[in-house]
Structures are given as C-alpha cells and as structure tokens.
Amino acid sequence: MVPTYRLGLAGCGLALVTALIPALQGKAVPRQCRGIPLILHSAQAAPDHETSVFDQPITGSEPAPSASVTAHDAAAPASGDAVLIALWLDGRPSATRHAYEADAAALLACLGGVPLGRATLADLQAFAASLARLAPSSRARRLAAVKSLFSFGHRIGWLPADVARSLRLPRVKNVLAERILEEAEVARLIALEPDRRNHALLRLLYLAGLRLSEAAALHWRDLRKRGAGGQVTVFGKGGKTRAVLLPASLWRELAALRGDAPDEAPMFRSREGGASGQLSPSQVHRVVKAAARRAGLDGAVSAHWLRHAHASHALDRGAPLHLVQATLGHADLKTTGRYTHARPTESSATYLVG
C-alpha cells in the first residue's frame, strides 16, 4: 500500500506528495527518519529564529509516542497537522506556498506518521541528517521552513512547545560576490540581444532591479510617465507595492514596444499563447539564460544576477544604501548591506606593500 499525503485546505492550494513508508516492526530508530525522507527540491527562503533548548519529547494529555510506526499508522498525516500546515501557508505567495508544502511533506514522511505535536528535537535532527546530500544552502532553506512551521504552531497555541528552536541551521558560505556581473558584462548581455521584447525586458530587469516574477507580472497600466522618463509600479515579495523610477532611455524603449496596446495588456507578451498572454517566470528565466550564453557569460547567470548587479553597481556609483533598499524592495536594510560586504571599496590590504 502506498500512503499519500495531502496538504493544504481551500485557499491554500493542494499538494499531493506520495511517500513510501516501511513497517519498522517495533524497532526504535534513534536519530534516523522513522519513514523514508522525501528530498524535494524547492527554493524560497523562510525566516530564521533564535534558538533555545527543547530536547525532550512533548508531554501532555496525549499518550507518549510509540517507538514503532507501521505503514498503516503513516498512511496520512494527522488531521491536526494538515490543518496547522494549511494555517501556516495561508496568505503566502504561490511560489513560497509550493516550496513550503514540499518541505512539510518531506518532514512528515521522515516522521513516519508521528504527529508534529509529538516530534522531538531528535526527530528533527534526523530529518536534518536526511538532507545531507543537498547543498548547504538548500538544507538551510528547508530547515528554516521547518523552524518557521514549529514557531508558528507554538505561537498560535497549536503545539505545546517549539522543539525546532534548538535546531541548528548549517552555516552557508556567502557566494554573493560570485554572482555580481561587471558593468561591461551586463552591457554586453543586453547589447547582443536581437529581439525587441527581450532587449527591453533585460534592460528593465537590470535598471529597475526587478525580481523575475515581478517583471513577468507587469501590465502596461503599471507604467506612468514622469518627466522625461517614467516609473513602474511593482507588486512585489510579501504583497508589498513599490514604485521605481525609470531613466528616459528605457522609458522610450518601453513606449516603442507598447505601441497602441491597452492598459490591461501584459507588458511582455508570450508568443506561445496561454490564458494570460504574458511571459511566464520560466520563460523570462530562459530569455536571460539565452542572453548570458550569447554574451559568453557563466552558465549559472540568472535574472536575479541582474538584480544583484543593479544593487552593486548603484552602490559603487554612490547611491545611498537606503535608496537601493527602497528600489529593490528589501524589508531589512541588512539585506541590502550584504552588497557592501560582497564588494568592499576599501581594505587594509591596499595599504600594504608586497
């Protein structure tokens, strides 16, 4: 029998994840997954949390969890877990919701039918160990999602304690400096793009510092003329709206691309059709990847690299940190400040002779 996990309620989407759970035949499995862990790849960050010690099993009115879990026990998560996960996902952006659904499904599969309210720190450490073959950044992101789930459940009174607070996240090397293109590289990437639509898209991604999903969602009504240039209104991460000024040269290029298109038309129309008629985020990603290959740049270049380049180049040219933060839509100034550490303008090394 293949047990199936269904996560999410109305309004939160439905994730269908299948997990094979073996019968453990009454044997305890210390610091190993009680079921078969699911290694599902997804990428959205979750907030980190401070840590304290909750190394003991949760106690209360429920009986202590059995050391053995059968495939029948693991056939579906406890209904309370499904409700908690749905509450945790409610109101989140679609991409974040899908990533978190996959993270929750992987955790439940590893727990092998043990409800979240009975999970111990050892169970969560076993889940962390099951992710060993993922990159450190992927492990950290997934474990941050687990910490967010337990923190939320405890905060609303659903879980009697937050056992995930003591779960340590792996240290991740800051590779931001490796993802910042030089100004000449960005110029070459844009200049070699022969397609009018794609050329305007690449310039907008760089000059406005937009996220891939933000650019894909734009309509012509989001543009307004401002003097010789204009501005674009962006509905961004976390449901926040921001306005970004556009230079005159980009405004003219976008105006020429628009022609007589109505306000409700997508700014970047897909040639493959589709219900919305606009480029999907995956299509925007392919446009950037093709442009990078054409320019002879690293194969890992993505749309987000243009956003990194915007931040770094603006700071290099003297833009105030708070202005770059507002343009990029960063909630925390520390996030924007990472660019100053990735590309410092001064170092004691320059004072040495050698």
Q: CA-to-CA distance for 149 and 146, rounded, in angstroms?
A: 5
110-122 pLDDT tens trace: 999 899 999 999 9
Using a pLDDT cut of 70, give the percent of the chain over it.
70
Which one is catalytic: 92, 141, 203, 307? Answer: 307
Q: What distance in Å separates the CA atoms of residue 324 and residue 340, rounded to the nearest whole number?
A: 11
Which H helix or E strand runs over 324? helix 321-328
**307 is an active site residue:** yes
The letter for the amino acid at 284 is: V
* Residue 347 pLDDT: 58
Average pLDDT in the 174-189 region? Answer: 79
Whether residue 193 is predicted with pLDDT greater than 80 in this model: the reply is yes
Domain boundaries 176-350, corresponding CATH code: 1.10.443.10
**Catalytic residue chosen out of the listed positions 98, 252, 304, 343:** 304
Predicted pLDDT of residue 176: 55
Give how far Cα 117 sits from Cα of 64, 68, 333, Å: 11, 17, 36
Question: pLDDT averaged over the chain?
Answer: 77
Is pLDDT at 29 greater than 90 in this prediction? no
The residue from 211, 308, 310, 313 that is catalytic is 211
What is the per-residue pLDDT across 50-81, written as a single tens digit (0 to 9) for each?
A: 322 222 232 333 333 333 333 333 334 456 89
pLDDT at 66: 34
CA distance 211 to 57: 42
91 exposure class (CB count in 10 Å sphere: 0-12, 13-18, 19+): exposed
Confidence at 4, pLDDT banded by 50, 70, 90: very low
- Higher confidence at residue 251 or residue 66? 251
From the list 237, 308, 310, 313, the catalytic residue is: 237
Beta strand 229-235 with 223-226 is antiparallel
Ranges for all domains in the chain classified under CATH 1.10.443.10: 176-350
Annotated active-site residue 72? The verdict is no
211 is catalytic: yes
Q: How far apart are CA 158 and CA 247, in angstroms?
A: 51
SS3 content of the chain, % helix, strand, coil (to 5): 45, 10, 45
**Residue 235 DSSP symbol:** E
Alpha helices, H only, 168-222: 183-191, 196-207, 212-216
Q: Which residues contact 18 (CB under 8 A, 6 or more apart)?
A: 2, 3, 4, 5
Q: Please tell me what DSSP assigns to residue 36.
A: P
In what helix (H) or strand (E) does residue 142 lie, and over which residues does it extend? helix 136-155
Say which residue, 72 or 242, is predicted with more confidence.
242
**Residue labelled with tokens 């406890």:** 78
Greatest mean pLDDT among 40-44, 215-219, 274-278 lies in 215-219
pLDDT at 259: 93
User: For residue 204, what are the CA distances in angstroms to 179, 207, 232, 351?
Assistant: 19, 5, 10, 39
**For the residues 17-38, what does the mean pLDDT come to?**
43
233 phi, psi to nearest 5 deg:
-95, 125
**Does residue 213 surpass a pLDDT of 70?**
yes
Amino acid identity, position 224: R
293 is catalytic: no
330 is catalytic: yes
Higher pLDDT, 65 or 129: 129
More confident residue, 22 or 166: 166
Active site residue 100: no
The Cα 140–Cα 142 span in angstroms is 6
Residue 210 tokens, joined: 């937009």
**What integer pLDDT is reported at residue 185 of this predicted model?**
92
The stretch 194-205 carries a mean pLDDT of 96
Residue 242 pLDDT > 60: yes
pLDDT in tens, 257-297: 999 999 999 999 988 766 678 899 999 999 999 999 999 99
On the CB side of 306, how many CA atoms lie within 13 Å of its CA? 27
pLDDT at position 95 is 78
Q: For position 14, what pLDDT does the model report?
A: 35
Could you give phi then psi for residue 320, rounded to 5 degrees? Answer: -65, 145
